[in-house]
Structures are given as C-alpha cells and as structure tokens.
Amino acid sequence: MNDKILLVEDELQIASFVSRGLQHEGYHVLTAPDGETGLELAFSELPDLIVLDVMLPGIDGLAVCRQIREAQLQTPILMLTAKDAVPDRVAGLEAGADDYLVKPFAFEELLARVRALGRRRAPIESDAPLEFADLTLNPTTRMAQRSGRTIELTAKEYDLLELFMRHPNQVLTRDQIYDRIWGYDFGGESNIIEVYIRYLRSKLEANDEPRLLHTVRGVGYALREA
Ligand code: CA
C-alpha cells in the first residue's frame, strides 16, 4: 500500500511543487489549502504522514497540529516554518509536530524528512505491542490478550482490531473501515463490518469484560472505555 500524505499548504506554487514531487516518488498525496480542510482530511482520510505549513489562513498550522494531537491522532507531522522564525520551530514541536523544515527548502530535503518519519514509524507499526485499557495486541504473533487471557484472532479480525488499536478513542466511519481493511467500497449495504465487530466483541468479552468496541450510531465504531 502506498503511503498517503496530507499536504496542508495555502501557497499554490509550493503545494503543487511538493505534491508533484511526492507523487513522482510514489506517494498518494492529498492537499488542503487551509487549516479547516486540513483538519477534516486528517480525520476523514487518516493519512500516514502530514506535511503542515505553519502560516495558513484561518486556523494556523500550530492550532491544526494541537487539535490533531488533542484528538489522540498520532500521525507523524512535518511542519513547514518560515525562514528565521525560530520561535515557530519550537512552537511547532511543542504543539506535537515530529520534525520541521525551514522554507525555502529543496525538494530532496523534504523527501529525506518524509522518509525519515516513515522509517521512525515503521518499526513501531511492525513490532511493538499495542495496548489499550486491559487489552494488548501483538503485531508479531497477531494475537490479543485481555486480562491475562490469550485470544486467537482470524486474519480479518486481527486487521480490524489493529486498526482500532492504532486509532484509540477515535470514531472510525464505516467507509474508513472498508477502505482500510477491505480496500474497496461495499456500497454501504453490506453488513460485513457488523459481523466482524460481533465476532470481535464475543472474543473480547468472553469473560464478561466491559465493552471496548462501541457503536457510534449512524457513524461507525470507536475503541474506548465506556
Ligand atoms: Ca503558508
């Protein structure tokens, strides 16, 4: 699967130069011309990386970054800051950005940062056990544990639970789940998600443990406590 990058940049020339370059490198690029659109896409598209300009009309990049982190979205964020604006860089990292790049920059510099952030995330995504409440999911063995009990999962059950574990406390829409787990759209009529959620709940709640996978009516599902 190609990495999906969200680029939030109001300067059209920079946006188009960066976007074309990244697409040429094989990335799938979404662009947003302002902070509001950037936030919307960050939550609806769940990109693998966000390149975020600080100076934006409306909600600025720092506020966008803070809102993303407050919502527990852990997507790596690369901030683009103005030349000589040292306070911007510090503020960016304090707001939850992972790295920054000072404008003007050469495309190769941006690409190097993008790749580094991808690498930084990769080992975490492949190996480290994911934890939420009393639930642990081990990507290496593809098994779950709840309050000491080992839970075997089928391939799709694992994929679905991993998606929720990587986006805790966040409502995932049915479309997002289809897109991420099945890679295509069922047309909205299928009840396959409901079926898998039911399987997962029966396994996760086998000892009457409290529910972690909650239905958000009319929207989708969320992994959260109560
Ligand atoms: Ca700008």
pLDDT digits (tens, 9 = 90+) for 77-135: 999 987 666 677 778 878 888 888 888 899 999 999 998 887 665 544 556 889 999 99
CA–centroid distance, residue 39 to ligand 1 (Å): 15
Angle, nearest 10°, between helix axes 35-45 and 61-70?
30
- Report yes or no on whether pTM surpasses 0.75: no
112 DSSP β-pair partners: none
Ligand 1 is a single-atom ion; what residues have CB below 5 A from it? 10, 53, 55
CA–centroid distance, residue 9 to ligand 1 (Å): 6
CA–centroid distance, residue 172 to ligand 1 (Å): 30
CA–centroid distance, residue 46 to ligand 1 (Å): 22
Asked whether the beta carbons of 46 and 180 are under 8 A apart, the reply is yes
Lookup: tokens for 223? 């992994």
Asked whether the beta carbons of 210 and 201 are under 8 A apart, the reply is no
Could you give the CA distance from residue 74 to residue 97 in angstroms, rounded to a whole number? 10
CA–centroid distance, residue 55 to ligand 1 (Å): 4
CA–centroid distance, residue 103 to ligand 1 (Å): 10
C-beta atoms surrounding 9 within 10 Å: 24
Helix (H, G, I), strand (E, B) or coil at 216: strand
Per-residue pLDDT tens for 28-83? 999 999 999 999 999 999 999 999 999 999 999 999 999 998 888 889 999 998 76
Q: What are the E-state strand segments in 90-155?
A: 99-102, 130-132, 135-138, 143-146, 149-151
CA–centroid distance, residue 59 to ligand 1 (Å): 11
CA–centroid distance, residue 30 to ligand 1 (Å): 16
CA–centroid distance, residue 125 to ligand 1 (Å): 31
Per-residue pLDDT tens for 147-203? 889 999 988 899 899 999 988 999 998 888 887 787 655 555 568 888 899 999 999
